[in-house]
Structure 1
Amino acid sequence: MPEVSTQSRTVPVPGGVLELSWAGVTDTGRRREVNQDAFFADYPLFVVADGMGGHVGGEIASASTIDRLTAVADAGHVTPKTIEKALARAVKDIASHPDATDDGTGTTVTGVFLDTSGEAAHWVTLNIGDSRVYLVRDGAIVQITTDHSVVQELVAAGRLSPEEAENHPYGNVITRAVGPSDGVKPDYVRLDVADGDRFVICSDGLTKELTDYGIRHFLDENADPAAAVTAMMEAALENGGRDNITIVVLDVTDPAAARDEDEAEEADEAGTDDGDVAEEDAATPADADGTGSSTAAD
């Protein structure tokens, strides 16, 4: 596994700044000969693609998709419209490549980007296929994206339980992909920005080996994004590494929100101390002569 490092950037947003830290890693796994995963992780876009089809077709599909999205990020104007144009170009790239002509050639694409165009910054997730975006907020891990897969459709229809879905024989069959015969419009989910958020963007090579609880465990144990992706990768490989595995962890800090929280805690502590003093002072005036005796009663 290659050495992983954490990158960081301070980003101006309406009303202040955000501090972002992230790390990403990809691995062929222990059973595949070729890594058909690809990823891009740099502000403002963090995406993972999991290719499929032929010996090298999937590799071409995922690489073409990531290359086109990288160009959008480098241009600095990431929107649903620019993303969809990039994906349409990727479809043409895939269709024109002589080694990507199999019927099953295509790729998933999933990720998140920061939209700072409005009065307040928002995260926007995008998804085609069964790679995933998770969010850890307020102590809970939530899968934000919805898989485009046969198994997920069966679960949604109530014909399959989530437990049964984990080992279903159609677990690898997806219903939407970026490819020559498929549409290129992702699903989008818009999210408020919150201090302390942690995103995990991953291919299904990770979720085949780690449960949501397992992902959360390694995030809790590793505050640094590079340490977190490394720990999850090592665990996924130890659990079998049956597929290519790609993981990106993105941490979000809002310095103003963190500062407000610290000030509120300090105010609460000061209020508690003042209350103690007030109670002591309130007891003293009862003694009119200031001696604490009961002379007046006498």
Structure 2
Amino acid sequence: MLSYLVQRLLMAVGTLIVVSIVAFTIIQMPPGDYVDAYKGLLESMGEIVTEDRAYALRLQYGLFDPMYVQYLRWLGGILTGNFGLSMEYNRPVAQVIGDRLWLTVIVALASVAFVWLMALPIGIYSAVRQYSFADYAFTFIGFLGLAIPHFLLALIVMYCSFRYFDANVGGLFSTEYVEAPWSIARVIDLLGNIWIPALILGTSGTAALIRVMRANLLDELRKPYVVAARARGLSEWQLILKYPVRVALNPFASTVGYILPYIVSGSIIVSVVLSLPTVGPLLLRALLAQDMYLAGTIIMLLGVMTVIGTLISDLLLAWIDPRIRLVGQK
């Protein structure tokens, strides 16, 4: 198991290096740079930006250097904990992201927890009670969850809250805790507000995983070893949970690798609609302004979440199915 973990960690490091190169290259592909976008914004407001000022800005941010020099400078800073300077905010990227990063991780983990807690038991029940009324009902709800976009569901929830409960469900904190320092009261307030974005962001993932778990378990329940185990006198639920469910969890556990980054990247519009203080709106703004260090850092963090999710998925699969560990040792 230790050698299996070391192999995955080495692969994760190589993957992150490739992600950083691709992210930094793609951000610089559009014509122009941050100064061009900045000039356009100021000129649209009636302010004139002189060539001397534009030259000074490019010199300040090192935009005259070749792209590989800018990348190596950024990567070297990351290794020392310095993610560069945000051009738009004129502050270090770490300060701009600040609490948004941890709040993004908390929202993502809450959404994943919601997805698993809902999809696993519903998928098992739908497979065991195939073609029952509950199975049809869950199937209908699942297709509905897949069909409704996140932002539309967020708008519906906000409208119903205002219309029928006179409540504001936007944000992650109550008004008095938005700018307050971290405390036990602020954490409790966060836990009281986080379930709404977790429910909205986890709806489509829950619907998809219900179908995955149901299909996998139905396939396992038709295999001869289930019939043999039933012949030994095991109770129905003991039989189902001990053998078929464990095998059916393999594809289910493998989804962790993409659920974490999918929730973050797919929550940009939802974060704007619900006014969530996450990195999604920051990424959108940084891409529009071509703020390469800020955008590159956020994309890099998405890559890190993907790698972490994949590592967790691999470890879960190795724990569930010992055959995976044996293959990794060859």
> Shorter-chain-normalised TM-score: which range?
under 0.3
Bigger CA radius of gyration: 1
Higher strand share: 1
TM-score by length of 1: 0.25
Higher helix share: 2
TM-score by length of 2: 0.23
> Relative CO higher for 1 or 2, CA cutoff 8 Å, sep ≥ 6?
2
